[in-house]
Amino acid sequence: MELVFGLHCDGAVYPDFPGSGAGAICADVVGPSGLLATLELELGLTAPAAAVAVRIAEYATKLRAALSVKPNCFFAASFSRDPFATAKSLLNYRDQLVTGGWRPISTGLKRLDEIALVERSGEAVAKGSGDRLFDALEALKGKPQLSITSITTVEERQSLPPVWGRLLDALEACGTKIEGRKLPSSDHHGTDLDRVQHFLEGGCADVLVGDGTAILIEADTSLMAAEALADWLAAGPEEELSGTVVIDTSGDTALLDEALAARGLPKLGHSLSSPYRGALQILPLAFAAVWRPFNPKPLLDLLLLPRPPIGRSAARRLARALIQEPGAGGPVWNAAWEKIRADLLDRFSEKAAPEAEVEKRVSRWRDWTQGGLYDRQEGIPVEAARSIAARVAQWAAETDASEGDPILRAAMGTASTFIEAVDALAEDFLPALLIERILEQVMANGAANPEQFATAGGLRAVTSPAAVWDRAERIVWWDFKGPGDGVPMHPWTRSETEALQAAGCELEPASQAANRISSSYANAVQMAGRQLMFVRSTLSAGQETTSHPLAHQLQPLLGAAGRLVTWNAEELLRGPSHAVGRRTLSRAEISILPIPQARAKWELPPTILSKLQGRVESATTLERLVDCQLRWLLSDVLRLSGGRFAELPGPDQLIGNLAHEVARRVFQPGPIVVSSALEAEISWHFDDLLSVVAAPLQQPELAAELVAARARVPEAILHLARWLADKNFEVVGTEIDCAKSLSAELAIRGRIDLLVRHHTRGLGVIDLKWSKSARRRRTELSEGRALQLAAYGVMADAEGGRAAGAYYLLNQRRLIGLEGALVADEEVTGRRTLEETWDDLLSTWQTWLSFAGNGIALTAGAADAAEHLPPNLAVVPTDEPCRYCELTRLCRIGVEEA
Q: State pLDDT tens for residues 520-572.
A: 999 999 999 999 999 999 988 788 999 999 999 999 998 888 899 999 999 99
SS3 track for 68-116: HHCCCCCCHHHHHHCHHHHHHHHHHHHHHHHHCCCCCCCCCCHHHHHHH
pLDDT of residue 55: 96
Average pLDDT over residues 227-256: 93
368 and 472 share one domain: no
243 and 139 share one domain: no
Sign, Cα dihedral of 53, 58, 61, 62: negative
Q: What is the mean pLDDT of the chain?
A: 92
Count other Cβ atoms within 10 Å, centred on residue 819.
11
Q: Show the domain range for 524.
A: 192-271+451-586
Report yes or no on 591 lying in a domain. Answer: no
How far apart CA 522 and CA 735 sit, in angstroms, is 74
Three-state secondary-structure class, residue 224: helix
How many Cα atoms occupy the beta-carbon half-sphere of 579 within 13 Å?
A: 8
What pTM does this model have? 0.88
- Give yes or no for a contact between 815 and 823, defined as CB atoms under 8 angstroms apart: yes
Average pLDDT over residues 118-146: 93
318 and 226 share one domain: no
Q: Which residues of 713-723 are buried (b: 16+ CB within 10 A; e: fewer)?
A: bbebbbbbbeb
Count other Cβ atoms within 10 Å, centred on residue 49.
14
Q: Comparing 97-106, 305-314, 384-393, 599-608, which segment has the lowest mean pLDDT?
A: 599-608
Average pLDDT over residues 397-422: 93
Count other Cβ atoms within 10 Å, centred on residue 455.
13
pLDDT of residue 404: 86
DSSP codes of every residue in 423-480:
HHHT-SEE-HHHHHHHHHHHTSS-B--TT----SSS-EEESSGGGB-S-EEEEEEET-
Report yes or no on 246 lying in a domain. Answer: yes
339 and 407 share one domain: yes
pLDDT of residue 774: 93
88 and 28 share one domain: yes
pLDDT of residue 898: 39
Query: With 90 as the cut, is the pLDDT of residue 85 above it?
Result: yes
pLDDT of residue 629: 92
How far apart CA 721 and CA 715 sit, in angstroms, is 10
Please list, in sequence order, all residues whose beta carbon lies within 8 angstroms of the beta carbon of residue 751, skipping any fewer than 6 positions away.
735, 736, 737, 738
Q: Residue 519 — φ and ψ, nearest 5°?
A: -65, -35
| CATH code, domain with 229 | 3.40.50.300
Average pLDDT over residues 215-239: 94
Q: Which of 560, 586, 612 is the last residue of a domain?
A: 586
pLDDT digits (tens, 9 = 90+) for 284-325: 999 999 999 999 999 999 999 988 999 999 999 999 999 999
Query: With 70 as the cut, is the pLDDT of residue 686 above it?
Result: yes
| CATH code, domain with 666 | 3.90.320
pLDDT of residue 682: 96
Query: With 90 as the cut, is the pLDDT of residue 618 above it?
Result: yes
How far apart CA 113 and CA 503 sit, in angstroms, is 12
265 and 302 share one domain: no
Average pLDDT over residues 269-294: 93
Report yes or no on 186 lying in a domain. Answer: no
Q: Which of 147, 180, 213 is the last residue of a domain?
A: 180
Average pLDDT over residues 843-861: 91
520 and 618 share one domain: no
37 and 144 share one domain: yes
Report yes or no on 185 lying in a domain. Answer: no
300 and 166 share one domain: no
Count other Cβ atoms within 10 Å, centred on residue 71.
8
Give one word for 19, left, alpha or beta, with left for phi > 0 and alpha for psi -120 to 50: left
pLDDT digits (tens, 9 = 90+) for 37-57: 999 999 999 888 899 999 999
Q: Which residues of 426-450 are buried (b: 16+ CB within 10 A; e: fewer)?
A: ebeebbbbbbbbbbebbbebebbbe
Please list, in sequence order, all residues whose beta carbon lies within 8 angstroms of the beta carbon of residue 487, skipping any fewer than 6 positions away.
510, 513, 514, 517
- Give yes or no for a contact between 698 and 691, defined as CB atoms under 8 angstroms apart: yes
DSSP codes of every residue in 744-809:
SSEEEEEEEEEEEEETTTEEEEEEEE--S-SHHHHHHHHTT--HHHHHHHHHH-TTS---EEEEEE
700 and 782 share one domain: yes
pLDDT of residue 895: 65
Report yes or no on 878 lying in a domain. Answer: yes
Average pLDDT over residues 477-502: 91
Report yes or no on 593 lying in a domain. Answer: no
Report yes or no on 73 lying in a domain. Answer: yes
CA distances from 227 to 193, 497, 543 (A): 24, 51, 20
Query: With 60 as the cut, is the pLDDT of residue 781 above it?
Result: yes
Report yes or no on 592 lying in a domain. Answer: no
CA distances from 417 to 52, 605, 883 (A): 9, 61, 51
- Give yes or no for a contact between 154 and 7, defined as CB atoms under 8 angstroms apart: yes
488 and 560 share one domain: yes
- Using pLDDT thresholds of 50, 70 and 90, give the confidence band for residue 643: low
819 and 673 share one domain: yes
How far apart CA 433 and CA 318 sit, in angstroms, is 28
Q: Which of 180, 213, 245 is the last residue of a domain?
A: 180
- Give yes or no for a contact between 523 and 458, defined as CB atoms under 8 angstroms apart: no
CA distances from 378 to 106, 422, 428, 697, 754 (A): 39, 16, 11, 22, 43
Three-state secondary-structure class, residue 596: coil
How far apart CA 288 and CA 390 sit, in angstroms, is 16
Question: What is the residue type of 308?
Answer: P
Domain count, the chain: 5
Query: With 80 as the cut, is the pLDDT of residue 352 above it?
Result: no
How far apart CA 160 and CA 545 sit, in angstroms, is 31
